[in-house]
Amino acid sequence: MTWLTILPASAVAILLLYIPGAAIASCLKFRLGGVLGIAPLLSTAAAGLAGVIGGFLQVPWSVLPYLLVSALLAVGSLLLTRRIPWRLAAPSWRTLLPFTALALATLPMTWRVIQLVGSPDHPSQVFDNVFHLNAIRFILDTGNASSLTLASIQGVQGLDAVYPAAWHSFAALLVQLASVDIPTAENVLNLVIVVLLWPASCLFLVTKTISRRPAALIITAVIAGTQVAFPFLMIVWGPLFPYAMALSMMPVVIVELAALVRIGRTRTDPLPSWAAALVLSLAGLAFAHTSSINITVALGLPILAILWWRFMPHRDTWRARPAGAWLFTAGTIGILAIAALLWLKLRPAPYDNWGPTVKPGAAVGEILTASTMQSAIPAVVVSILSVYGLLTTFNVRKWRWMTACYAVLGGLYIVAASFPKGSIRDILIGTWYQDTYRLAALLPLLVTPLAVIGGLRLWDQARNSRLGARKWESWEASISRTGASGSTVLSAAAVVVFTLVASFAGPLTHYINGASSVYRFDAQSELLTPDELALIQRIPTHVPSDAVIADNPWNGSSLAYAYTGRRVLTTHLFSTDDPDTELINQKLGDAAGNPAICNALRNKKVQYVLDFGSRYLIDLPGSEKYPALTDLAPAKGLTLVDSQGEDARLYRISGCQ
């Protein structure tokens, strides 16, 4: 499969992520820029709500309930803003500049993704992808895209079954509408998230809070696409696809928070529209990845502080309108209480397998050099611009809030990278599994706009200096004598040089080359090899649709469910086993002479065994729970049905009749 063949699927993904949300944002009376900036978050909210409602009403997941819920949200938004005039207008040349800048990010980032993934049908050969692939199949198989039940494929119920399903829901829609297989749908969706949602969100943040100058847009586009920590790290580590989707839209939420205190150009849109958009966006974040709510809480604290800073000097207001002042105080206390509750409750079970990696000073150095997680190569251009931008904000009052937000995220990273295991570490970063990688991915949210501030300041200082102005005028005159436009040629050359230097004077090329092994698909692949996939693809010719296949998820055999729709006994590496499943995993070879095992097989409808040998994704104790399903050979009670290569074999259980 080539990347050109996925262009139709990519177009479908873009439409799914933008059109419903754009309709809702239009009804909230935003201008065109706001409509396009906020659209993915509102689309995600609609998809998440449609999944939950459909789960309750037992309406199968498809594009129809998604569009219906989107229409209802649009109508509700229209009623809420009925007194606000429509603000959409014909676009001018200036409104089209961000789209040009977006292309500057999209094209090189697409090339990087192609380098990383290799082929659009290559699955990520990493731990969490077993869950992601099978979860997409679960939605297609059951028609249930509810975030309240998605994790039930792991054998859990109740609150343990809650898992944000928006990313998986969109992937399932791609399979339905674009007729691609599940791994391709996964990669197409991630491609759109990385090369479109993320840079577009960064451009929205910069244009609303810093500047709309062409130079600002160019710097944003380049810097957004040249950082390892996000987005590339999150489609490799884990892989954390839903988390990547949430973070790709977080710059928009930062704008919405800033709008509550009327920072920058957020004043051009009505405050009620921003408030409604924030509420829906929080729903979208929750359905994308729950931890993003805690990120919003962390970033919201400096914004709340700004409100108090503005309110406190007006003491006459306290005397003239004491009821309003006390209401504001009570509201603040209530918000802080809710924030504390969310911070402590919206988190997974305690998990401290990842500990500190460096000393606090080294962690600070990693932040300032944009080389988190002990990257051997600092991101030179990103580092210089962001540090200079950070210094600039100390002298420019209107941008100091960014420094405060950056300090909050940087502080969380320092805790993850350097604090010892214990209760303090768990309270502060338990939401992210105390995982330094997840915290590193947050830093580009503020590094990008700070780099824009630094880049603009450096550019202006260079152009306005006596030497810089003289040199620029001399070069313009020399080029103009050739018949070309000196200003245009010099500007284009500056953009090209800046893009090349930022892209290659840093760790990105080195990282992409090394991380591409995660998507490698050959005989040495960690999770699924070509031989194993070839056997899986023949399973529908051997296994009836109502039969279940016993499997060991640690060797990739559980992916038979994702690829074929044939159910497997264990869908994920950390699935919770019931007594029947545990008996099958431990004693299947004794089925011919053991009625208890035969009863367990009948209870679970297990009729086949898929054996991919004893080469495991990760050599952890959990991989040893399946001795009866590993390295099998034809014997009494087991009949070889099909095989491929040395280790991939499908057996029919013939010992229980």
Amino acid at the residue 575: S
What is the structure's pLDDT at 481? 64
The structure tokens listed for 9 are 């699927």
Cα-Cα end-to-end distance for the chain: 43
CA distance 179 to 192: 17
- Indicate the pairing of strand 638-644 with strand 567-568: unpaired
What is the structure's pLDDT at 389? 95
Amino acid at the residue 205: L
CB 572, CB 154: distance < 8 Å: yes
Torsion sign over Cα 536, 120, 241, 149: negative
CA distance 547 to 242: 31
What is the structure's pLDDT at 483? 66
Long-range (24+ apart) CB contacts under 8 A made by 8-14 are 8/178, 9/174, 9/178, 9/180, 9/184, 9/185, 9/188, 10/188, 10/191, 10/192, 12/173, 12/174, 12/177, 12/178, 13/170, 13/174, 13/178, 13/188, 13/189, 13/191, 13/192, 14/192, 14/196
Which residue in 574, 560, 561, 576 sits closest to 642, CA to CA? 560
Which residue in 198, 176, 161, 175 sits closest to 41, CA to CA? 198
CA distance 63 to 50: 10
What is the structure's pLDDT at 315? 59
CB 89, CB 32: distance < 8 Å: yes
Q: What burial letters (b/e) apply to 220-254, b meaning 16+ CB within 10 Å? A: bbbbbbbbbbbbbbbbbbbbbbbbbbbbbbbbbbb
Task: For the chain of 657 residues, list the mean pLDDT of each consecutive stretch of 10.
Answer: 93 97 96 93 98 96 97 96 82 75 92 95 93 96 95 87 96 97 97 97 95 92 94 94 97 94 87 95 96 94 80 60 72 86 85 87 92 79 94 91 95 94 91 94 96 93 77 69 67 81 87 93 92 96 94 92 95 84 86 82 93 83 82 83 92 84
Longest C-alpha distance within the chain, in Å?
95
Amino acid at the residue 310: R
Amino acid at the residue 140: L
Q: Give Cα 491 distance to the centre of its chain.
A: 34
Q: Which residues pair with 550 in a beta bridge?
A: 609
What is the structure's pLDDT at 476? 64
Amino acid at the residue 442: L
